Every structure is written in structure tokens, then in C-alpha cells.
Amino acid sequence: MSKPSVEQQYRRFLLSLSGFIFAGSALELVFLEHYEAIIQYLPFVLSGVGLITVLIAIRKASQSSIKWLRYVMWIVGIGGIFGMYQHLEHNFDFAVEISPNISTMGAFWESLYGASPFLAPGILCLGALLGYAATWRHPLLSD
């Protein structure tokens, strides 16, 4: 058995880091009891699907598993952006509810650092970006 190339080691590192982010995100969501509403289950699903797809790509790298990884990473990334929007909207609505006379710009600034951390769902985007980066110019995708 030959030693893996630096490129293969780099890809495996990126995929492992991506998988760690997805597993850690799901665990953190459990600690935060992030399951009061149905929509709050979405990051669990995205993290789980992302982790499973990454593990399959690490264990059984094939053209189809790498393509599926790319598709899933897009979905997870879009889900992360949606989560950021949800957090921003929740904080904005809360700011307006607490201070009905607040300006729109004031409510927007308040919503950036409200009770729902605006950037927290961005961790899914980071995991997706790392997973997708691992497939950049992947030899199994070249024709």
C-alpha cells in the first residue's frame, strides 16, 4: 500500500474538519436545547446529512459520492444562510416588540447582537465550504 499524496492528505483533512464541524454543531444544539419549534430541527438534519455524506466520501470515495458531497454541501450552505436570516429576523422582531418606536435601522443594529446569535448558523456554511473545498479539482471528477 502506497503512502497517500499530500493532496490526498489535504482532502482528507478538509473532509475530517468538515465532519467535525457538523458533529460539533449538532452536539452544541442539543446542549442549547435548540428544539422548541419544528424549524429548529433543520440544523440537526443539515448537520446529520452533512456528516453522513462526508463520512461516505472519506470511506468510499467514488465519482458519485464526491458529486453527492458537492450537492449536499450546497444544500447545507444554503440552510446555514437561511438560519442566519431566521436569527436576524427573530432578533429584529424582538427589538421592535421591546421598543415599538425604534427606527428600522436601530432595530437592524439591535438584531445583529440579539438573543439569537446572528452568525451561529454560519458554522454550517463553514462546514459546507470546507467539504466542498475538499472536492476542488478532485481526480475522480475529471473526465
CA dihedral over 112, 115, 119, 121, signed as positive or negative: negative
pTM score over 0.85: yes
Asked if pLDDT for residue 46 goes beyond 80, the answer is yes
Which pLDDT belongs to residue 54?
98
